Amino acid sequence: MKKKKIALIPGDGIGPEVISEGVKVLKAIEQVDANLSFEFTEYPWGCEYYLEHGKMMDENGLDQLKDTDAIYLGAVGYPGVPDHISLWDLLLKIRKGFDQYVNLRPVTLLNPSLTPLKNKTEKEIDFLVIRENSEGEYAGAGDWLFKGKPEEVVLQTGVFSRKGTERIIRYAFEEARKQKKTLTSISKANALNYSMVFWDEVFDEVGKEYPDVVTYSYLVDAASMFFVQQPERFEIVVTSNLFGDILTDIGAAITGGMGLATGANINPEREFPSMFEPVHGSAPDISGKGLANPIAAIWSVAQMMEFFGEEKWSELIVTTIKELLEENEHLTPDLGGNATTEELGNQFIKLLTG
């Protein structure tokens, strides 16, 4: 029997609503699978916690989480707390503290009706974005000089270390080799004449060790256009932190919206726990109304199962999401339906266990 310790951080806004549907899925799995059980510990961290305690999470928060097998996070951010505080003091603190340097974001069309692109099938929109998740443009390096003065200058420095750049590119090559797929690097070396020239050089250097992997390199502006015009070009994509963040929102837009976009923050060495989360934010405008789509959070459970080596469950969850979308009767308003978050979640469990 495998017992997995899961830390729940539902967070803000719609976070708790969607995470509670994902937890139902985990509980359904342990009911039917005699070899798996989950022990949940919930943490009240987020913006409400900040307003009460002056911090997004406990000072020894990472210590509290470090012995868990996975972190399952909902969303961060709420009016009243500046976005850079809520993001940096919780989500990014965990990603950095646990060296979760790989962000896996699938761009997979599960039903042709979901894409706004004309004549695109599921086969044509099915790729994986591997985003560098620990440094780059989100390194937190910079300065704010002469604040409020006419000569005010703000610096935000992209940090691309050899270690950080090489390891994400190597991870992507390994994945492309394993899956026998092409690998596309997305950068911007013509304008970012230090960081992205370096990125491209490392991509070429590491690529020499993988002669069996077919590679492509695009500038991020051209790649953004290809995401919407010719998504079939892509199989596995590797890119920097900021570009990956932006491109995967385009990825969400061509596959059904943010309600279906999932992301896994992985520490491949398994020295620290990895974290699974819907890509969307806290959506304060719809929180507490039962309108949130929990599919992304449920898909995050599939990514967690894959990370645990439970591919059977991972595949079954994704197949069941497909079934739910095909059935087209219990979908939330973002997908044109009138089901509540809970109704969609209950129907998902029925299909999964039925």
Catalytic amino acids? 138, 188, 221, 245, 249
* β-strand pairing of 2-11 with 36-42: parallel
- Are the C-beta atoms of 169 and 161 separated by less than 8 Å? no
Minimal CA–CA distance to 248: which of 132, 90, 166, 76? 132
Pick between residue 249 and residue 343 the one whose CB is nearest to ligand GGG: 249
Which tokens belong to 249? Answer: 């929102």
Q: For ligand GGG, which stretch binds (CB under 6 A), given 69-77, 208-216, 268-276, 320-328?
A: 69-77
β-strand 102-108 against 136-145: which pairing, if any?
unpaired
Between residues 74 and 206, which has the closer beta carbon with respect to ligand GGG? 74
- With the CA atoms of 72, 310, 322 and 223 taken in that order, what torsion angle do they form, in degrees rounded to the nearest 10? 70
> How many whole angstroms separate alpha carbon 339 and alpha carbon 293?
9
Q: Rule CB under 6 A: say whether 7 interacts with ligand GGG.
A: no
Would you count residue 277 as binding ligand GGG (CB under 6 A)?
yes
Residue from 28, 62, 85, 87 that binds ligand GGG (CB under 6 A)? 87
CA distance 192 to 221: 13
Q: Which stretch binds ligand GGG (CB under 6 A): 72-80, 170-178, 182-190, 196-204?
A: 72-80
Q: How many residues bind ligand GGG (CB under 6 A)?
A: 11
Query: CA–CA separation, 76 vs 96, rounded Å?
Result: 16
Chain length of the chain: 354
Of 23-31, 267-275, 276-284, 325-333, the window that binds ligand GGG (rule: CB under 6 A) is: 276-284
Q: Provide the minimum distance between the beta carbon of 100 and ligand GGG in the complex, in angstroms, as a whole number.
A: 11
| Residue 188 three-state SS | coil
Q: How far is the CB of 32 from ligand GGG (least distance, A)?
A: 28
∠ CA 45-48-49, rounded to 5°? 45
Among 281, 305, 325, 339, binds ligand GGG (CB under 6 A): 281
Q: Cβ neighbours of residue 351 under 8 Å, at least 6 residues apart?
A: 320, 323, 324, 327
Binds ligand GGG (CB under 6 A): choice among 9, 75, 168, 292? 75
Residue 245 near ligand GGG by CB under 6 A: yes
Interaction between residue 21 and ligand GGG (CB under 6 A): no
Please identify, using beta-carbon distances, which residue of 158 and 281 lies nearer to ligand GGG: 281
215 vs 265, beta carbon nearer ligand GGG? 265
- Smallest distance, ligand GGG to C-beta of residue 254, A: 18
Residue 264 contacts residue 304 (beta carbons within 8 Å): yes
Judged by the rule CB under 6 A, the positions of this chain that interact with ligand GGG are 75-77, 87, 91, 245, 277-278, 280-282
